[in-house]
Structure 1
Amino acid sequence: MQSQDVAPRPAPSSGAVVDVEQAEAALVEHYPRLVRLAYLMLPPGLGRNRRVLTAHALTQRALPRGRAAGDASVIPAQQSGDGDGDPGYAFVRLQVVRTALEAGLPLRRRAWPRRSQLPPVLPQVWGLRLFPRSGGADELALDQRLSALSGPARAAYVLRGLEKLADAPLRRVLTAAGVEDPAAALREASGVEARDALLDSPGFDPCSLQARPTDLMRRRRHTKAALAATAALAVCGALLALPGDGWGPDGAAAPSYARNPAAEAALDPARLERVAPTAWKSSARTDFSVWPARGGLVGDGALLRRALAVWARPGESVQVSATPGTPSGAPPGPPQLLYAGDVDQARVVLLYDGLRIARYAEPKDGTGGAALDFARVDGAGRAEASAVVLGRADGNVRYLTAPWVTGAAERDLLKPSAGAMDLALSADGSTSPLAGPPRTGTCTSWNVLQVEDASGTRLLTDLGELVPARLTTGRPTAPREAAGAQGLREWAPFACSLGSMRSGGVRTVNTWQYARQPLPDGSGPAAWVCTRADTWRGGGTRALAQFRTPGGTYGAVVAKAGDSPACGSRDPHVLAGVLWKSGAGAWYLLAAGDKDTASVEATGGVRGSATGPLLVVRARQGARAELEGTLTNGRDVTGLR
């Protein structure tokens, strides 16, 4: 990484006096924010574990040394950012910026290293590796862009995004921190797209951490003197044998001290399970267990060994992600090989252990940037095991399809009358790239994968995970595939609501029009739709009640529920309401339940009741009401909120 030299801190021309008590109070109050600043400014090449510990160490060392007024430190006045007007906060922030910049400087042969350039003495955590929660693709892309910046430019980007500093005070802070050319740093930082919201992501929070063990087997050994000496020698030997900047035998995997026969068998590429290409034709099961090993690199033993070793013990530089409820530990035995091949600019390996699919990816050249992703797929059937995401690049998605898939196409869910665009299927079952759904901005299209096999046609959508979600329509007790003409028409107004279901471990999403309600101004009937996402783990479900007026292009979400059986196969009933303004300016409370609703009652800010599933009551703008319904079998239902 290139870095500008940081000169000794110049004395500011004007400033405020701060003593240690002010600085300590500011540090304690704003500690999480200061640590986040340090973490983002440190060079990513340090590795996530060391970046976390170093960020905490630099922040904790930011206090002034003097306690008397005469020994107080002088700091430049600041005009914006958290702690605005607080000289104590401005001082400790400046110390964090200065030492974070020093930590990114290269070591020199003829000069003593600065304290911030060395691994921190404190804090230390023994037996665990700590790192922030895994972010999504946007956080990973931003981290990669920041790693390409110089230290001062990275500091400028972070201070501008997190502290909201304007250019003038930002130049003063950089100058006080010792940056020789603040203007150049600002220009370089401006070349990176502003993604300020991502800087507050949990993926960049070094105070909310995940922990992984390091060497469990060694720590279980007896503590007798002779065995302790033997263990110490083994550790020293292992540290001397650690690889430098290049790939070791296990690539980006952490070093192993265990000698467990079962664990070693799971890491042997020769023992990977490989299914015959035609096994799915005669098998009683049609799921991932009958996928054959495909791809141009299935014979690359070194690549497969690296993938297995990283799965068992991912190194600090590996980006690890898992869908909610998916364990990310080592495989219990030799997993099944699904794919190994080149995908765009990466080498990709897909493995399956009966519960999870693991995707290992490494760049075709270079030694960094390895990634490991997990998705839970237990209980998958023919429909859910139709495709897996091979890779995403430049807003496009490439899939690996099941061996029983005979055709693939791209379809825009917002345009039900438009035809599907055929996708080329290679000999190994991978598709040509198709445009993925929008992640930010206005939702003007929602592209999905359409697959065909002997059992029919189905639609799958990318929700940011390894396994795409299956789309269905109809009453929850008898859903049907959404690929038919009617299903496409039913999904079109509500496709953009899928954006709220990303990264939740979603297995299927069903949309169901449960009621039609004549509007009180005679403008026609409105449609009530429930869209429900079910997950692989069972919990974490999400139900959305949506309302669409006559002639409306899109539906509007008016109520939602999480971890509720409503609108699902176990409880196919739903009740929701909305305040609606007529063309004449009158406000109404509209509510609707499914056809099994015998009565609906509104209480609170709006009062009224009706027999049957539909309710219309005059209301005031901004009024709030509680909905209760009774089913034909006498059971009560509560309105979604």
Structure 2
Amino acid sequence: MPIHHPQRPRQLSGGDSATSGVQQAEAALVEHYPRLVRLAYLVLPPSLGRHRRVLAAHGAVQRALPGPRTSPERPPAPVLPRVPEQSRAAISAEGTDRRPEAPAYVWVRLRVLRTALAYERRPRWWPGRFPAPAALRPAVPVVWGLRLFPRAGGVEELTLDRALSQVPGAVRAAFALRTLESLSDAEVRALLGQAGCADPALAVRAAGRLAGDDRAGAELLLRSGEFDPCTVQTRPSDLLRRRNRLRAVAAAAALCVAAGALVAVAGDGSSGVADAGPGGRSAVVPALEPAGLLRSDAQEWADTSRLDFTAWPARGGRTDDRELLGRALDVWGRTPRTTTVSTTAGTVAVPPAQPPRLLYAGEVDGAAVVLLHDGGVRLVRYAEPLAGGGVSALDFARTDDAGVTTGAAVVISRTGDGARFLLAPWIARSATRDLLAPDVPARDLDVAPDGVTAAVPRPAPGGACDAWPAIQLSSSERVVEKHAFLLTDLGDLAPAHLTYTPRPAGGSRARQPREATSPPALLSWARTACSLRAVRGSGVRAVNNWEFARQTLPEGGASAGWLCTRADTWRGPGRVLVQFVQPGPSRTAPATVVADRDDTALCSRFGQHILAGTRWKAPSGRWYVLAAGSRAVSRIEATGEASGAVDGTTLAVRAPRDASVELTGRLRTGGTLTAVR
């Protein structure tokens, strides 16, 4: 749904310089309206939500012009800032015109930038609905009954959006100005300073690290529909909440008319919520009625390009048991205190706003289990014991943008040391393997006709790490030919997808993550699988092992590897473990974790550069400081109680065991890195 910007205003002749300047600024605003709104949308805090961000971006641009009652500035034409006279890169606006250099546009852009950055400078005590005091608060368009969202992009756009959500507004502004406006770093620093940024230089450096080497790729992503608030999709707001509010307002108005100044407090329980029907279930909420549950056809997955939980058919022996489905929906809608509830990080345990999709209803391991999918965002599992005396359980997990691999299996039951999975309908073959035994072939896994697997051993949460079970699944040839991948149970409803990124050969371009089923990938995971204990139960979507460097050790020439193990969660943030893989007594000896970082873009597409170090004892008994960097590192320097420098991606310096040493890396592009801790 395109949001059309206003028609171009006519240029008026005559009048004073202030009027002329405002008219020029208005003409620039209307001409470049989509560009300005996109810039505002990127700078605004993602915590506003996509709907409010869209409205706030349009409001920030539409309020950029000064008026007699809104701003004292009213600039005359001669005082509008001028752009430095230098050659500019030809970057189009919405793919057609060159970057505007008119002083009027430069002035309007500064106004928009100030307003967007003001959203993050509100006091902590200020109500979340209003970003700043009235002097800084832009009016937003009013949209009643609709939610507005930019068009959804792919995995790369989503990854960039998540990376931008983890940095301050000034960094997002610098990233957008460098990428979309093609400004130099000096121009960005000057513009951020004018906009009120406290440390423009720091924001520009952080934006440079975020963009990495692929500036053209970042520009292409920013110009996609994911970040275009002028072309949006619409969805209804919470219809039930709106209806209840309207009923409450109508009831209050009727009560005021009937009672006059008398305030009556009704004690009969009528509050806009309908009386419960049979079994305690509300008869007016379609989302909580078994008859309203969505069901996919058995072969829908083979005829759609969207392979996620929306393509799963309803399976199990009790999909027509209205009583069981009704109890599951009752517990979801009004959870009793006796029910055991668990949620993965970032998941809300609230009733559905629309009818969920039924994925499974049947009996597994002595319990009746119902698995529901809530509109692309959550998986909900309800379980009740078949024998009396137990309590029901309700488990919630996020499944944003699941796909062929991340939407391929769900943990349907856990008992003792084993777990059963419900597999996606596009899985043609299933097997199990031990990640700590990379040379042992995968063993076939039995699957019932309803898609439930035989019990699979679970990774031990503590104690000795002697084995790490995983399931190896193969997609149907109707989906993709010869596609196998690994999943492992990390304690959530959705198992984690394991991938592997090999080290670039001969300084070539960075490689992309691939399935962890090749011999090198299995050997990599054999050394690092036990480190997955650190991310159990944190809502992990996928874990990638990236071998970013290989180092020849001093005193003997043995070879060691450096791995960055990145765990991405369903809610967005990631955790990184940097591991040093030295020669060991066996090919499965665990690697050494030398760095641990939470909520970071390191080792992702938007954090392609890394430097790490560790202390290492040689067979002779001498201690060394070792360091390694990714492929773009051209020089490593050590300073402090031990010093040294070397051109290349690895360094080894003699140093006392407890010496304090600082490591710095230089990039081929001219930037610098400090070692991750």
Q: TM range, normalised to the smaller chain?
A: 0.5 to 0.7
Matching residue within 497, 510, 519 for 2:553? 519
Query: What is the rounded CA distance, in whole Å, between the counterparts of 2:593 and 2:371 in structure 1?
Result: 37
Structure 2 equivalent of residue 234 of structure 1 = 269
Structure 2 equivalent of residue 108 of structure 1 = none
Query: What is the rounded CA distance, in whole Å, between the counterparts of 1:558 and 1:575 in structure 2?
Result: 11
| Aligned 8 A contact 1:407 1:425 in 2 | no
- SS of 1:514's partner is strand
Query: What is the rounded CA distance, in whole Å, between the counterparts of 2:266 and 2:524 in structure 1?
Result: 65
Matching residue within 330, 336, 351 for 2:372? 351
Q: Does 1:439 align with 2:461?
A: yes
Query: What is the rounded CA distance, in whole Å, between the counterparts of 1:228 and 1:284 in structure 2?
Result: 58
Structure 2 equivalent of residue 586 of structure 1 = 622
Structure 1 equivalent of residue 601 of structure 2 = 565
Q: Does 1:321 align with 2:342?
A: yes
One-letter code of the match for 1:412? D
Query: What is the rounded CA distance, in whole Å, between the counterparts of 1:602 and 1:414 in structure 2?
Result: 36
How far the C-alpha of 1:242 sits from its partner, in A, is 11
Matching residue within 458, 480, 485 for 1:458? 485
Structure 2 equivalent of residue 385 of structure 1 = 407
Query: What is the rounded CA distance, in whole Å, between the counterparts of 2:641 and 2:410 in structure 1?
Result: 49
Q: Structure 1 residues 607 and 280 mapped into 2: Cα distance closer, same or farther (>3 Å)? A: same
Structure 2 equivalent of residue 116 of structure 1 = none
TM-score normalised over the length of structure 1: 0.61
Deviations 1:259-297 (A, max 9, x none): 8x4xx1101101100101011111121111110000011
Query: What is the rounded CA distance, in whole Å, between the counterparts of 2:531 and 2:615 in structure 1?
Result: 20
Structure 1 equivalent of residue 578 of structure 2 = 545
How far the C-alpha of 1:230 sits from its partner, in A, is 7.1
Q: Which of 217-226 and 299-308 deviates more?
A: 217-226
How far the C-alpha of 1:478 sits from its partner, in A, is 0.6
| Aligned 8 A contact 1:463 1:469 in 2 | yes
| Aligned 8 A contact 1:317 1:368 in 2 | no
Structure 2 equivalent of residue 195 of structure 1 = none
Structure 2 equivalent of residue 301 of structure 1 = 322
Structure 2 equivalent of residue 249 of structure 1 = 279
Residue identity over aligned pairs, in percent, reads 45
One-letter code of the match for 2:337? E
One-letter code of the match for 1:347? A
How far the C-alpha of 1:365 sits from its partner, in A, is 2.2
- SS of 1:303's partner is helix
Query: What is the rounded CA distance, in whole Å, between the counterparts of 2:294 and 2:331 in structure 1?
Result: 18
Query: What is the rounded CA distance, in whole Å, between the counterparts of 2:645 and 2:557 in structure 1?
Result: 23
How far the C-alpha of 1:523 sits from its partner, in A, is 5.0
Matches for 1:418-437 after TM superposition, within 5 Å = 418-437=440-459
How far the C-alpha of 1:363 sits from its partner, in A, is 1.1
Structure 2 equivalent of residue 612 of structure 1 = 648
Matching residue within 275, 280, 285 for 2:301? 280
How far the C-alpha of 1:512 sits from its partner, in A, is 1.7
How far the C-alpha of 1:631 sits from its partner, in A, is 1.3
How far the C-alpha of 1:484 sits from its partner, in A, is 2.2
Q: Structure 1 residues 228 and 275 mapped into 2: Cα distance closer, same or farther (>3 Å)? A: farther
- SS of 1:307's partner is helix
Structure 1 gap segments, 5+ residues each: 1-215
Query: What is the rounded CA distance, in whole Å, between the counterparts of 1:306 and 1:638 in structure 2?
Result: 56
Matches for 1:88-487 after TM superposition, within 5 Å = 222=252, 231-234=266-269, 249-250=279-280, 261=284, 264-353=285-374, 354-366=376-388, 368-453=390-475, 454=477, 455=480, 456-475=483-502, 478-487=512-521
Query: What is the rounded CA distance, in whole Å, between the counterparts of 1:572 and 1:360 in structure 2?
Result: 41
How far the C-alpha of 1:304 sits from its partner, in A, is 0.7
Query: What is the rounded CA distance, in whole Å, between the counterparts of 1:438 and 1:459 in structure 2?
Result: 18
Query: What is the rounded CA distance, in whole Å, between the counterparts of 1:364 and 1:484 in structure 2?
Result: 43
Query: What is the rounded CA distance, in whole Å, between the counterparts of 1:359 and 1:291 in structure 2?
Result: 15
How far the C-alpha of 1:638 sits from its partner, in A, is 2.1
How far the C-alpha of 1:343 sits from its partner, in A, is 1.1
Structure 2 gap segments, 5+ residues each: 1-243, 503-509
| Aligned 8 A contact 1:477 1:569 in 2 | no
Query: What is the rounded CA distance, in whole Å, between the counterparts of 2:266 and 2:357 in structure 1?
Result: 35
Deviations 1:220-240 (A, max 9, x none): 87497979867312389x9xx
How far the C-alpha of 1:572 sits from its partner, in A, is 1.9
Structure 2 equivalent of residue 529 of structure 1 = 563
- SS of 1:233's partner is coil
Count how many residue pairs are aligned between Structure 1 and Structure 2: 410
Query: What is the rounded CA distance, in whole Å, between the counterparts of 2:265 and 2:326 in structure 1?
Result: 29
Query: What is the rounded CA distance, in whole Å, between the counterparts of 1:325 and 1:265 in structure 2?
Result: 26
Query: What is the rounded CA distance, in whole Å, between the counterparts of 2:582 and 2:269 in structure 1?
Result: 72
Deviations 1:143-186 (A, max 9, x none): xxxxxxxxxxxxxxxxxxxxxxxxxxxxxxxxxxxxxxxxxxxx
Deviations 1:414-465 (A, max 9, x none): 0000121211111111100010111110111000011112331110011100
How far the C-alpha of 1:561 sits from its partner, in A, is 1.3
One-letter code of the match for 2:417? G
Structure 1 equivalent of residue 111 of structure 2 = none
Query: What is the rounded CA distance, in whole Å, between the counterparts of 1:606 and 1:463 in structure 2?
Result: 41
Query: What is the rounded CA distance, in whole Å, between the counterparts of 1:428 and 1:631 in structure 2?
Result: 54
One-letter code of the match for 1:234? G
TM-score normalised over the length of structure 2: 0.57
- SS of 1:511's partner is strand
How far the C-alpha of 1:357 sits from its partner, in A, is 0.8
RMSD after superposition: 2.6
Structure 2 equivalent of residue 498 of structure 1 = 532
Query: What is the rounded CA distance, in whole Å, between the counterparts of 2:613 and 2:416 in structure 1?
Result: 40
How far the C-alpha of 1:537 sits from its partner, in A, is 1.5
How far the C-alpha of 1:408 sits from its partner, in A, is 1.1
| Aligned 8 A contact 1:346 1:364 in 2 | yes
Query: What is the rounded CA distance, in whole Å, between the counterparts of 1:519 and 1:487 in structure 2?
Result: 22
One-letter code of the match for 1:519? L
Query: What is the rounded CA distance, in whole Å, between the counterparts of 1:228 and 1:369 in structure 2?
Result: 43
Structure 2 equivalent of residue 194 of structure 1 = none
Q: Structure 1 residues 361 and 280 mapped into 2: Cα distance closer, same or farther (>3 Å)? A: same
Query: What is the rounded CA distance, in whole Å, between the counterparts of 2:657 and 2:520 in structure 1?
Result: 36
How far the C-alpha of 1:219 sits from its partner, in A, is 9.3
Structure 2 equivalent of residue 31 of structure 1 = none
How far the C-alpha of 1:602 sits from its partner, in A, is 2.2
Q: Structure 1 residues 450 and 366 mapped into 2: Cα distance closer, same or farther (>3 Å)? A: same
Query: What is the rounded CA distance, in whole Å, between the counterparts of 1:292 and 1:488 in structure 2?
Result: 33
